[in-house]
């Protein structure tokens, strides 16, 4: 990662930079914000404490779906759909080279039921989805086992949904950062510790190594750590942990995403089979645990028994930034002019990254407010 140069070696207590904008956080959201700002002529510094795509953005499942999630059915359905369209356009516009290809692809999902209550709920879901023009249907056992023969016997129905997309979230985020650098954005290692506000306006941000960056514009794209920066109000955002286990499995099955009882399994373009996940409140603990592994493996082998005993290629654990109402917080802070939030996208941060970036740019440059549902104004004093 590049480091901001003060022109006098490493930043010191006296070292000060001046820049048009600072983005705090080099996850998918921060990188997308920096890219969109740069595409509109605002070249920012991005401050990252770990590495680009080191946190949730590097280790997400990478699903882009509009048919489920917070605010669905409801006002978020349209927003998620538009977000998928933005990803398709972005992929076409940037034309990734093979080494930077984040492999955007359509995927089909199967949600399984082995009892009448679940089957009835899936039928209702499929009906709602069709009424909203999603490609969804309820299928019976014959079709289920024809599609995925490794599913254990006893499934009575499944919803088959052909409206989702997936990408590799690590490569996607790195590619955003590469594109930023090509446009002149600089990435710096450091922890933003506080923002300084003068006369109601953002004046500077301060880093852990005592460097200071003077700037009139700060975008906090910090994931769940947003409230650890002095001067930024406490946002109602919590870290919700998840874990994904990548398994080595021969063959070519599990091309569909197969879900049951909250677990999900699917084969990725590199041939590995991913198994996940859970949503646990464990504070800021990102450790991989035996408890997490057992939970996931017990869950996925309960419906695909042949996943038992496979070699684990890699296990990742990370934290979703989840707002108290499950909807992102994007817009201007009322704590200071020039302070913006692009945060709290929960389980949809990869999907929403480009949308959140566009909302910030529209607000900063054209005073066009993001959709009310994501506005910080729905909470008091942030
Ligand atoms: C198991 C799992 C599966 C998921 N699957 C999907 C999926 O299929 N589809 C989807 O859309 N989303 C998914 N998500 C959610 C998605 O990963 C997140 O919503 C998204 O990555 C959040 O991006 P972000 O940029 O807001 O946060 P992050 O990726 O967490 O990035 C924030 C960055 O800010 C940095 N930072 C924080 N504070 C400071 C500071 N003070 N100074 C400097 N740097 C700082 C952090 O180090 C971090 O790198 C999943 C999440 C998990 C855990």
pLDDT digits (tens, 9 = 90+) for 153-208: 999 999 999 999 999 999 999 999 999 999 999 999 999 999 999 999 999 999 99
CA dihedral 201, 204, 207, 209 (to 10 degrees): -150
Helix or strand run (H / E) with residue 317? strand 311-323
Q: Is residue 364 part of a domain?
A: yes
Q: Which two tokens stand for residue 299?
A: 């869950």
Enumerate the β-bridge partners of residue 311: 248
Specify whether 229 is located in the same domain as 338. Answer: yes
Ligand 1 atom at minimum distance from 345 CA = 19
* Mean pLDDT of all residues in 136-155: 98
Is residue 17 within 6 Å of ligand 1 at its C-beta? no
Specify whether 316 is located in the same domain as 333. Answer: no
The per-residue pLDDT for 242 is 98
Specify whether 241 is located in the same domain as 184. Answer: no
**Across all residues in the chain, what is the average pLDDT?**
94
Which pLDDT band holds residue 10 (cuts at 50, 70, 90)? very low
Segment 69-113, tens digit of pLDDT = 999 999 999 999 999 999 999 999 987 887 789 999 999 999 999
Specify whether 347 is located in the same domain as 270. Answer: no
Residues shown for the chain: 382
Specify whether 247 is located in the same domain as 314. Answer: yes
Is residue 30 within 6 Å of ligand 1 at its C-beta? yes
Residues 6+ apart with CB under 8 A from 115: 156
For residues 219-243, one letter each, b for 16 or more C-beta atoms within 10 angstroms of the residue's C-beta and e for the rest, the string is bbbbbbbbbebebbbebebbbbbbb
Specify whether 259 is located in the same domain as 363. Answer: no
Segment 332-357, tens digit of pLDDT = 999 999 999 999 999 999 999 999 99
In the chain, how many domains are there? 3
Predicted confidence (pLDDT) at residue 39 exceeds the cutoff of 90: yes
Residue 378 CB-density burial (10 A; 0-12 exposed, 13-18 middle, 19+ buried): middle
**Domain-terminating residue out of 163, 178, 200:** 163
Q: Which two tokens stand for residue 280?
A: 């646990």
Specify whether 283 is located in the same domain as 137. Answer: no
Rounded CA-CA distance 63/175 in Å is: 17
Q: Is residue 365 part of a domain?
A: yes
Predicted confidence (pLDDT) at residue 55 exceeds the cutoff of 70: yes
Specify whether 308 is located in the same domain as 278. Answer: yes
Phi then psi for residue 149, to 5 deg, are -75, -15
The per-residue pLDDT for 7 is 37
Is residue 299 within 6 Å of ligand 1 at its C-beta? no
Q: Is residue 269 part of a domain?
A: yes
Q: Is residue 351 part of a domain?
A: yes
Q: Which two tokens stand for residue 335?
A: 């704590």
Q: Is residue 92 part of a domain?
A: no
CA dihedral 123, 127, 133, 135 (to 10 degrees): 20
The per-residue pLDDT for 254 is 97
Boundaries of domain holding 253: 237-323
Query: Which residue stretches of the chain are H helix?
Result: 28-39, 75-94, 116-131, 141-147, 169-182, 290-301, 349-366
DSSP 57: G
Specify whether 40 is located in the same domain as 174. Answer: yes
Is residue 276 within 6 Å of ligand 1 at its C-beta? yes
Rounded CA-CA distance 296/260 in Å is: 12
Residues 6+ apart with CB under 8 A from 375: 329, 330, 331, 369
* Mean pLDDT of all residues in 288-307: 98
The per-residue pLDDT for 354 is 98
Is residue 61 within 6 Å of ligand 1 at its C-beta? yes
Q: Is residue 209 part of a domain?
A: yes
The per-residue pLDDT for 2 is 42
Predicted confidence (pLDDT) at residue 259 exceeds the cutoff of 60: yes
3-state secondary structure 298-315: HHHHCCCHHHCCCEEEEE
Q: Which two tokens stand for residue 216?
A: 């009139």
The complex's ipTM?
0.99
The per-residue pLDDT for 292 is 97
What CATH number has the domain bearing residue 338? 3.50.50.60
Specify whether 342 is located in the same domain as 366. Answer: yes
The per-residue pLDDT for 13 is 39
The per-residue pLDDT for 94 is 84
Q: Is residue 68 part of a domain?
A: no
Looking at ligand 1, which residue's alpha carbon is closest to its atom 13?
A: 347
Q: Which two tokens stand for residue 139?
A: 């299928």
Is residue 32 within 6 Å of ligand 1 at its C-beta? no
Specify whether 272 is located in the same domain as 372. Answer: no
Q: CA separation (Å) from 48 to 61, 186, 192, 349?
A: 22, 11, 8, 17
**Domain-terminating residue out of 302, 323, 344:** 323
Q: Is residue 97 part of a domain?
A: no
DSSP reduced 3-state for 21:
strand
Specify whether 224 is located in the same domain as 178. Answer: yes
**Domain-terminating residue out of 323, 340, 355:** 323
What CATH number has the domain bearing residue 299? 3.30.9.10
Looking at ligand 1, which residue's alpha carbon is closest to its atom 15?
A: 347
Segment 301-310, tens digit of pLDDT = 999 999 999 9
């Amino acid at each position: 990662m590049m480091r901001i140069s003060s022109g006098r070696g490493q930043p010191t207590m006296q070292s000060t930079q001046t820049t048009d904008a600072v983005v705090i956080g080099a996850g998918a959201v921060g990188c997308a914000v920096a890219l969109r700002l740069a595409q509109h002529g605002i070249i920012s510094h991005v401050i990252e404490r770990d590495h680009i795509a080191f946190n949730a953005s590097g280790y997400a499942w990478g699903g882009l779906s509009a048919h489920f999630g917070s605010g669905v059915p409801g006002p978020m359905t349209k927003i998620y759909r538009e977000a998928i369209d933005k990803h398709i356009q972005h992929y076409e516009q940037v034309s990734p080279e093979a080494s930077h290809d984040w492999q955007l692809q359509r995927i089909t999902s199967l949600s399984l039921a082995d009892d009448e209550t679940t089957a009835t709920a899936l039928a209702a879901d499929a009906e709602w989805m069709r009424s909203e023009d999603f490609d969804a249907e309820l299928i019976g056992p014959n079709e289920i086992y024809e599609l995925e023969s490794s599913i254990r016997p006893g499934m009575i129905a499944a919803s088959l949904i052909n409206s989702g997309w997936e990408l590799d979230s690590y490569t996607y985020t790195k590619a955003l950062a590469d594109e930023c650098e090509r446009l002149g954005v600089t990435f710096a290692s450091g922890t933003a510790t506080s923002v300084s506000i003068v006369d109601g306006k953002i004046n500077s941000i301060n880093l852990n190594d005592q460097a200071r960056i003077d700037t009139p514009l700060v975008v906090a794209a910090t994931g769940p750590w947003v409230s650890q920066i002095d001067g930024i109000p406490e946002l109602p955002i919590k870290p919700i942990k998840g874990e994904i286990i990548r398994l080595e499995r021969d063959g070519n099955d599990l091309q569909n995403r197969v879900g049951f009882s909250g677990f999900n399994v699917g084969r990725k373009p590199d041939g590995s089979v991913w198994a996940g996940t859970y949503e646990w409140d464990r504070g800021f603990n990102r450790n991989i645990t035996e408890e997490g592994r057992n939970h996931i493996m017990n869950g996925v082998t309960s419906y695909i028994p042949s996943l038992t005993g496979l070699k684990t290629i890699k296990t990742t654990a990370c934290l979703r930034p989840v707002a108290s109402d499950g909807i992102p917080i994007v817009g201007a802070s009322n704590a200071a002019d020039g302070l913006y939030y692009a945060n709290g996208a929960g389980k949809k941060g990869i999907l929403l990254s480009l949308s959140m970036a566009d909302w910030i740019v529209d607000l900063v440059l054209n005073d066009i407010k993001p959709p009310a549902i994501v506005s910080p104004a729905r909470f008091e004093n942030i």
